[in-house]
Structure formats: structure tokens, C-alpha cells
Chain A
């Protein structure tokens, strides 16, 4: 099938961005109040958590990896934090302990992948199950939903607060996007992640400390998971550890892949994640306004993903070079 030349020069990111713009225009014209500032803020707010998780996933995927343990790590570390506050630990200590737990777990994941050389998909799948199982057996032993106590104080503002009229989750997501952008674009470590993702053997030969960098990228993703978890928990005044059984992790992978980040590593940027996140945000917000059932929303969401992938493979057909990269 041949497409006009001008279309042929579009990347997947641009296609997705176009779809987003089109949907945005259609919704603006057909749905009341869609363009209202408050609705745009609520749209952004609803995908802020997904976006932050996406940033963590981006860093891992860029270095040729995948982190399926993110949601488990997020749920258990934050639920434990809340649990600690409930039993009387000062807030600051509890937050530090929870973050420490999250970073430790992701560091273990990193070591398993970098030093024991277990494929990322298996190591993180197993670690996700381990973190959840360990957490439910030893850390959160009551109900699987942990309710936020009043002692959570100022930290409640992470999910509930507003700054200059803008919800804090949006600001946090923007701040983390900027940090991730600067890190990947201007720091040596960030550059090394790209190199490892592109060609691990070449990176090693040229003197990049491959293994420590791999561990680091999982630790960063653990940190992102913790922040995302704090937002989730403080926004609904509880942390529901059942979220581990949901398909949230696939949504995270969806926004990363949708935006055009290559799962084979080395190609992608923060911009891709933002585009993917916006598409899902606009789509879900519009469908909720139209009162479309959640189950049908899922069907439409996956159809849009298929559409984006099909469009990409028609416009940018697989050639020898992309074929050799290999896909997961």
C-alpha cells in the first residue's frame, strides 16, 4: 500500500499527536464544557499519575529493559508508608522508610537484571509478585485497602492540594517531566542509558559502566513509582493494594509505546511519553463525559492503540534495519 509522500515522513509520535489533536477538536465542538479550564485541569490531573509512571518506564525502556514491577512497588511502598503513620510513626520517617523500601526493591530488581543477567521481563515480573506477596504477608496485614489517617497532615496536599489554581499532581508531573528531560538530554548518565539501549556490547567496550547504570535506571523507576503512589493514595484518601491485579501496568506501557518509544531501546524521549499520555487523557475524559461504560472505554482504548500501530507500520514499513532491532 502506498501513501502520499508527505504522510510517509510522519513518525508514530506525530501520528498519535495528530489523532490527539483531531479528537480534541471533535470533543471541543461536540461536548459541552469540554474546553472549560476546570475540565482541562481535571483531564490533566486524571493522567498525571499515569504520566509519572510513564516517565519511570521510559528511562527503563530507553536502556533496553522493561519494568513490570512498578505498580506492585508503588502500591506496597505507599501502603506501608500509610500503615506506619497509622501505627504512630512520625510522618517524615514514614515517608523516608517507604521511599527507602521502594528504592531498595527496585535496586534488587536492577541487580538481578544487571549482574545475574536475568531477562528484564522475567526479573521484574517475578519481583512484582514478590513485592506484592511480601508486602501483603508481612507489611500490610489487615485489609488490602489502607486508609489515610488524619496524621498524614501536609503530605495529603500531594494529591489534594492546589497551587495557583493548578492541582499539585499536574505540577509534580510537569516537574518530573522536566527533570527527566534534563537528565536524559544533558547528563552523562542519561546519555549512557541511550547508549546501552542502543548497543550494550558497544557501550561496554567503550568503557561505560554498564551494570551500575542498569541498576540505576531501575532505582529511578522505583522513585517515580513512589511519587505516583503518593499522589494516588492522597487523592482518594486510601491506598488500594488490589491495584496490583489491575491492568494499570499495561496502561503505562501503552502510553510509552503509543508515543513512539521503541521497546527495543535507544529511541524515544520525554516528548513521546507526553504525547501518549495526552492521547489517553483526552480519550478517557471525552468518553467519561459521553457516559460511555468503563468496559467499552477499554475496548475503544485498545482499538485506538491498534489504529496507531497499524498506521505506523503502514507509513513506516519494517525495513532491514528496524527488523534487526527486534521487538518484544
Chain B
């Protein structure tokens, strides 16, 4: 009896075997899209050319893109012009000659790389611009919508220092490099909002060239002249550390609202905790790295560079002392290690 049942079972199993095999066969072509996608990525060359490989944003972007590129068998190279626009355009020129498949770059200002980027596009090289938008549109711009971000920051300021508040309505603005995209577009957004709020008085609007020491010196004098200052907008957290220090050392952290924006590195979170900054619009640099990687995948799987042009606006959120502990404050060291 028992063996009979076993036999039946065996028969059934044998009968089912072709079915199972067929099922396995069917499963493989079940994802017919993966193969071509991997094929489109494999062996391609991503060249990374930020303004400098030595600062938090560029390290996070590069670290994420490199990890993903290597996961899919792509070649990743990095050049470090170390804040020299000259070295950067030379690097771009030689890259164009070597014809990588993708150039991921960051404009030092709106003009310097514009012609070179057009040249690269003509040769079919995909060009992805991070954070600092240039004067030409390429495969992708990846970064927050800085005009909107400027408007957001200005509105935060209006709610603290505007007509409804019992303050002097005096604010100061610290710009970066005047022609740098991050500064230029942000100021544009800020001014759009402030124009509608005539009660707000801008007592100073100076460029600090992304340098914390300069931002500190400017802000110290501004505070001296306007001890009743209500708030300060600084366009980048990397230089705002100087702005915030000046406020803190003048003992005015309670009175002056310091708002800035940046990639949300650990150092920025620490400065929120100790009261150097009042609020930071965090545009999450590792997230931008992911967006850049998305742009690379889109370009590679759609026939290479210069096929379509997309503005990829990265998400951002407002960080204050209250929610800083829930935010993912990343350590640039970890990404710097990946790039080395």
C-alpha cells in the first residue's frame, strides 16, 4: 500500500517535472528588461569633476555615485581641481578629448564651463551638473530649485522679522561668490519675496566668497552697526559658520535669527544643536548623489548623452534644533574614504 502510494507520488513528481522546468524557463524571460539595462551600464566610464573633492557636498555626491557605478561594472574616475577654475576647465578640456561616457560636474560660476559643456554634449558625452547650475542646459541639473529655496528662506525670515513681529525688521544677507549658481539663484528668490515686504530693511548684503572668515568679519561689523538686527540669511552653511560665530560671540544668538542652507553634514547638525544656526534648509547631499546616479542611469539606458534634458530638483526640508536628532546627519569622512 505504502509503496504504491509512493509510486504514485513519484509518477506525479515526474509528470510535474517538465512543468516545473517550463516554469523556470518562463521565469527567466520574466524580466526581459534587466539584461539590456545592465548592458547599457556595464563598462561605461563616469568622470567626476567637482570644484574640489575636499568639501562635504562633493564627497557625498561622489561617494554615492562611485559606489553605484562600481556596483554595475562602470569605471569611475575623479579629478580634484581644488577650487581653481583654471584647473577645472583644463580638466574638462582633457576629459572631452578622452571621451568618457558621463561627466558629472559642478560649475564654479554660471559661465566658466558653459562652452565646454556644450562641446561635450555635441560629442555625445552625458553631462550632469550638480548644485551649481551653468548657463547651458545639459542632460541633467541635479540640485534643489534654488530660486524656490531662496523664496522659502526669505519667507521664514519674513515670519520672524516681518510686519507681524515686534522687531526692528532689519535683516542682513551674506552671499557666496556673486556669480555662483547657488548664491545667484538663491538671492533672486530671496529678493522676489522681500520686494513684496517693504517693511523688511536689508542693512547689508555682501559677498563672502564661500569663506567663513570673511562672513565672520562682515557680520561682526553689521552687528556692531545694527545692534537691533533681527535676522541673517547666509546662502551656504559652509560659510555661515563664520556668520553664526560672529552672532554667538556678540552674545546675540537669542535675538538674531540665523538661517542658512546646505547638504546636512554632521558639522551643520552640531551647529544647530549649539545654537550657532537657528534653522537650516537641508538639501541632503547623499540624496543628491542618488539623484545624480538616477540621471546617469536614465542617460545610459536611453542611448547616451545629449538625448534629453531634465531639471532634477532634489528634495529639501527645514531642520531646527527640535528635529535635528531625527535627521540623518552624515559624516563626510565616510564618503571621503570611498573616494580615496
Seen from chain A, the residues whose Cβ lies within 8 Å of a Cβ on chain B are 32-33, 36, 38-39, 42, 45-46, 136, 141-145, 147, 160, 232, 235-238, 240-243, 245-246, 284-285, 288-289, 291, 293-295
Contact = CB atoms under 8 A, between A and B. Distances in A.
A160 B249 contact: yes
B316 to A, nearest CB: 21
Contact of A240 (B203, B204, B206, B211): B211
Given A245-B84, A294-B214, A236 B241 contact: yes
Contact of B208 (A38, A238, A245, A294): A294
The 6 closest A-B pairs by CB, nearest first: A144-B54, A288-B221, A142-B333, A236-B242, A236-B212, A294-B207
Contacts of B207: 293-295
B211 A289 contact: no
Contacts of B203: 291
Contacts of B241: 147, 236-238
Query: In terms of DSSP, what is the predominant structure of the interface of chain B?
Result: helix
A236 B245 contact: yes
Contacts of A238: 212, 241, 267
Given A145-B238, A294-B206, A33 B224 contact: yes
Nearest to B58: A143
Given A33-B225, A36-B224, A235-B213, 13 more contacts: A42-B220, A42-B224, A46-B220, A141-B340, A142-B333, A143-B56, A238-B212, A243-B211, A243-B213, A288-B217, A288-B221, A288-B222, A291-B203
9 contacts: A32-B225, A46-B221, A136-B54, A142-B332, A143-B55, A242-B211, A284-B217, A288-B221, A294-B207
A33 B229 CA distance: 15
A246 to B, nearest CB: 7
A136 B178 CA distance: 28
B213 A240 contact: yes
Contacts of B210: 242
Interface in B106-165: none
B84 to A, nearest CB: 7
B169 to A, nearest CB: 17
Interface size, B (range)? 35 or more
B52 interface: yes
A142 B339 CA distance: 10
Interface of B: 52, 54-56, 59, 82-84, 178, 203-214, 216-218, 220-222, 224-225, 238, 241-242, 245, 249, 267, 270, 276, 332-333, 336, 340
B213 A294 contact: no
B83 A235 contact: no
B208 to A, nearest CB: 7
B221 A147 contact: no
Nearest to A46: B217
A160 B242 CA distance: 12
B112 to A, nearest CB: 16
Contact of A39 (B205, B216, B225): B225
A235 B206 contact: no
Nearest to A291: B204
A145 B55 contact: yes
A242 B56 CA distance: 13
B206 A291 contact: yes
A191 B218 CA distance: 40
Given A288-B217, A289-B221, A245 B206 contact: no
Contact of A143 (B206, B213, B222, B336): B336
Contact of A141 (B55, B205, B208, B336): B336
A42 B340 contact: no
B56 to A, nearest CB: 5
A32 B206 CA distance: 19
A17 to B, nearest CB: 23
A293 B174 CA distance: 11
Contacts of A144: 52, 54-55
Which one of A36, A39, A288, A293 has the greatest number of beta carbons of chain B within 10 Å? A288
B178 A295 contact: yes
A288 B174 CA distance: 12
Nearest to A137: B340
A136 B238 CA distance: 18
Contacts of B222: 288
A240 B245 CA distance: 14
Nearest to A234: B245
Contacts of B332: 142-143
Contact of A293 (B82, B206, B276): B206
Nearest to B241: A238
A243 to B, nearest CB: 7
B204 A38 contact: no
Contacts of A241: 54
A33 B222 CA distance: 11
A38 B224 contact: yes
A236 B213 contact: yes
Given A143-B59, A147-B270, A245-B82, A285 B221 contact: yes
Contacts of A136: 54
Contacts of B336: 141-143
B53 to A, nearest CB: 9
A237 B220 contact: no
A71 B119 CA distance: 38
B89 to A, nearest CB: 16
B183 to A, nearest CB: 12
A36 B276 CA distance: 26
A246 B83 CA distance: 10
Given A144-B52, A293-B178, A232 B211 contact: no
A84 B81 CA distance: 27
A275 to B, nearest CB: 21
Nearest to B223: A42
A173 B261 CA distance: 35
A231 to B, nearest CB: 10
Given A288-B206, A293-B207, A237 B221 contact: no
A293 to B, nearest CB: 6
Contacts of B218: 288, 294
A237 B55 CA distance: 16
